[in-house]
Amino acid sequence: MERTRTTGISIEAGCRIIDKRYKGQRIYARLGEVSQEEAEAYLAKRINEVRAAKLFGESPRRTFREAAMKHLLEEKQRLAQKFRISSDGGLRPKGQKQLDDKARHLKLLDRFVGHLALDEICDDTLEPFISQRHHDGVAAKTVRLSLEQVRRILNKAARTWRKNNQPWLRLQPPVITMPKGEPHAPFPITRAEERALFSELPLHLADMCLFKVNTGLREAEVCELRWEWERKLDDGISVFLIPPAHHKGGDYNRYRLVVPNSIARAVIEAQRGKHPEFVFVSPKSGKPLKRINNNTFRPGRKAVGITQCRVHDLKHTFGERLQAAGVSHEHKQILLGHRLENITTHYSMPRIQELLDAAEKGGRRGGFGLAGARRRSFR
């Protein structure tokens, strides 16, 4: 790191960095590729703010970077309470993933607005960030996720955070305009499209997709499915109970009940013995897969001419088939995980049988139950 003529200002890889302590307070900012004069002017402004705060009790103008760091710390505490702390003292996987996603969005924003004061954040100052993300081919939905973090930070700075009885942001939070993109309508696939698509996939990925289209699970729920969640009941029936921290059902205090039909059970039986913990693993590494939507799934859907089909559309497909088969709205909601049954250690067999009968109606007709038949149908 190269020092400059002004104490507290240095250069690293062409980026000017301010790191100075003044009256017991640290002033830190990565300003990017700015001139020495601009860096000195910024430092002088921040020193004046700290001096005014010490002499007159005024609150300094906080930067977006400071607010983002405080926001992430609060989010970590909130997620720790929501998902509880794991045995090693860290966040549980689902909570850590949410925290990592927020940090990733804020890191992208920091390059453009991190050094700006909170009252300088508006549509105009965010426009370079939005333009760059669009130039990189990022979907409007992803850009909106980043801007939602900006909204939350500005709202908390104006309404919650205080210093010397003064809010971090003294102005009313500005309206942040969200970029609009083309909505992605659900695209349920036909049984012929299902056969064609799955035949283009490796067997382990086809197994996961077949299980998904017959259970209505989300992608992450399939990838994280574990044997310890299986509960074997009477008459050879088994269900899975996904713990609250591992499903996205809107109610984090209840288990997600999964009732596999005969097709899904055939998939499960084909996976036994492959891994002691996870149901679905990579045949090459023997480790659980993190996603289905990978470089094999996308070419597969292109090969059969259904590029608009997303992995999540397999869940929509299961829902449409349940509805077409006349399954009641209540049973459909439970099977899709939109409504969670209050089931922990007690299982009502008549209730499970009702759900199993409903799940069978959403499965494939015509002798597709055994694993061997399932595999022959792909090729």
- Span 24-57, pLDDT tens digits: 878 888 888 889 999 999 899 888 877 877 766 6
Residue 157 CA to residue 66 CA, distance in Å, equals 11
Residue 302 tokens read as 């292109």
Where are any strands of DSSP class E within 33-180? 162-163, 166-167
Tell me, what's the pLDDT at 339?
64
Where are any strands of DSSP class E within 5-136? 9-12, 15-22, 25-32
Tell me, what's the pLDDT at 159?
92
What 8-state DSSP symbol labels residue 178? P
How far CA 123 is from CA of 131, 141, 155, 230, in Å, comes to: 12, 17, 15, 50
Give the residue ranges of DSSP H helices in 238-347.
262-271, 297-303, 313-324, 329-335
Tell me, what's the pLDDT at 253?
63
Tell me, what's the pLDDT at 3?
87
Tell me, what's the pLDDT at 87?
62
Residue 160 CA to residue 149 CA, distance in Å, equals 15
Tell me, what's the pLDDT at 344?
45
Tell me, what's the pLDDT at 364?
58
Residue 15 CA to residue 42 CA, distance in Å, equals 14
Tell me, what's the pLDDT at 340?
59
Residues of the chain with pLDDT under 50: 344-345, 366-379
Helix (H) or strand (E) run with residue 230 in it: strand 230-232
Q: What is the DSSP string of 116-138?
A: SBGGG-SHHHHHHHHHHHHHTT-
Sequence-separated contacts (24+) of 346-352 with Cβ below 8 Å: 347/231, 347/233, 347/239, 349/233, 349/234, 352/233, 352/237, 352/239, 352/259
What 8-state DSSP symbol labels residue 179? P
Residue 203 tokens read as 């067997």
Sign (positive/negative) of CA torsion 201, 273, 367, 256? negative
Residue 155 CA to residue 30 CA, distance in Å, equals 24
pLDDT, tens digit (0-9, with 9 covering 90-100), for 204-224: 999 999 999 999 999 999 999
Strand partners, 230: 240
Residue 250 CA to residue 245 CA, distance in Å, equals 11
Q: Using CB atoms within 10 A of its CB, is residue 87 exposed (0-12), middle (13-18) or buried (19+)?
A: exposed
